């Protein structure tokens, strides 16, 4: 291995250590505890070295946001591919969003601004994979095209789904801190399934 390759490998190793240390801080203490200084202390490097890989904390948050969208995208894609009808695909994809939110709450909070500022990632930030929202929109558009009213507004349908789903997820993430919350798993699933099936029926009418 030449000197150039060694330097590149060392650079990649340091970057991975930064991300691993940052994620450990987040999982143990939450996003508010994350700082470049904390990461530097954790991996025993000086702060300038950390800034050499990520120009700011925002740049680091964007990298974590990309990772979250990549994980969500894969989960939503798998849900779609596991079903054949558009209705079943759409229901499974939204339920995949739900499962992701509670399997990966730290990522979800960062990606969608629950209890913190939202770190938005655009399509240009994630060029290597198809965003989950785009996958869902494609199914909604196809469903509308095959419905009795192909002139329906796909954006309006998407945001109706999204408002209900994200609202219920956010309530649950916040209510986890509240004793005697009525938001049981069965209660949530009933609300979510009723809402999704109801909107799907309204599209097909």
Q: Is the dihedral of CA 93, 154, 145, 133 positive or negative?
A: negative
Same domain, 152 and 135: yes
Residues 19 and 77 in one domain: no
Q: E strands, 83-146, where?
A: none
**Locate tokens 């250590």: which residue?**
17
pLDDT, one tens digit per residue, over 152-199 is 999 999 999 999 999 999 888 877 655 555 567 888 889 999 999 999
Q: What is the pLDDT of residue 121?
A: 54
pLDDT: which is higher, 26 or 205 = 26
Averaged confidence pLDDT in the chain: 87
- 172, 97: one domain: yes
The pLDDT score that the predictor gives to residue 172 is: 86
Residues 91 and 3 grouped into a single domain: no
Q: Which two tokens stand for residue 116?
A: 């913190």
4, 77: one domain? no
Q: Which of 53, 99, 54, 110 is nearest to 74 (CA)?
A: 99
131 and 197 fall within a common domain: yes
Alpha-carbon distance of 203 to 205, in angstroms, equals 6
The DSSP letter of residue 124 is: G
Last residue of a domain, one of 9, 33, 55: 55
- What are 111's two structure tokens? 């990606």
pLDDT confidence of residue 4: 73
Out of 26, 55, 84, pick the residue that ends a domain: 55
Q: How many domains does the chain have?
A: 2
Q: How far is CA 179 from CA 102, 159, 164, 168, 175, in A?
A: 18, 31, 23, 17, 8
**Token pair listed for 157:** 């349908």
User: Which of 6-10, 55-59, 110-114, 118-122 has the highest mean predicted lDDT (pLDDT)?
Assistant: 55-59
Q: Are 63 and 141 within one domain?
A: yes
pLDDT digits (tens, 9 = 90+) for 114-145: 766 555 655 455 555 578 999 999 999 999 99
Q: How confident is the model at residue 6 (pLDDT cuts 50, 70, 90)?
A: confident
Crossing angle of the two packed helices 185-204 and 154-175, in degrees rounded to 10: 170
Which pTM does this prediction carry? 0.86
Q: Are 164 and 198 found together in one domain?
A: yes
Low-confidence winner among 1-15, 76-90, 144-158 (lowest mean pLDDT): 1-15
Instruction: Provide the token pair at 112.
Output: 């969608």
Residue 200 sits in the same domain as residue 174: yes
Shared-domain flag, residues 13 and 98: no
The per-residue pLDDT for 64 is 93
Based on the fold, state whether residues 90 and 152 are members of the same structural domain: yes
* CATH assignment at residue 35: 1.10.10.60
Range of the domain at 26: 1-55
Identify the pLDDT of residue 131. Answer: 86
146 HSE (CA, 13 A, CB side): 10
- Say if residue 51 is in the same domain as residue 125: no
What whole-number distance in Å separates Cα of residue 24 and Cα of residue 21?
5
Q: What is the distance of C-alpha 139 from the center of its chain?
A: 19
Q: Of 55, 71, 93, which one is at a domain's C-terminal end?
A: 55
């Amino acid at each position: 291995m030449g000197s150039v390759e060694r330097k590149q490998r060392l650079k990649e190793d340091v970057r991975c250590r930064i991300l691993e240390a940052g994620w450990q801080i987040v999982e143990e203490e939450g996003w508010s505890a994350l700082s470049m200084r904390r990461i530097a202390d954790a991996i025993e490097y000086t702060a300038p070295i950390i800034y050499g890989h990520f120009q700011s904390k925002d740049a680091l948050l964007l990298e974590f946001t990309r990772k979250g969208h990549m994980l969500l995208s894969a989960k939503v894609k798998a849900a779609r591919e596991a079903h054949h009808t558009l209705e079943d695909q759409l229901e499974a994809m939204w339920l995949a969003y739900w499962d992701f939110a509670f399997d990966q709450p730290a990522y979800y909070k960062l990606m969608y601004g629950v209890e913190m500022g939202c770190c938005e990632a655009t399509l240009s930030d994630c060029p290597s994979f198809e965003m989950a929202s785009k996958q869902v929109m494609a199914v909604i558009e196809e469903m509308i095209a095959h419905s009795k009213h192909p002139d329906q507004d796909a954006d309006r349908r998407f945001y109706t789904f999204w408002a209900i789903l994200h609202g219920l997820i956010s309530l649950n993430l916040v209510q986890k801190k509240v004793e005697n919350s009525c938001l049981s798993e069965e209660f949530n699933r009933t609300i979510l399934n009723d809402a999704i099936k109801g909107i799907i029926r309204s599209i097909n009418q």
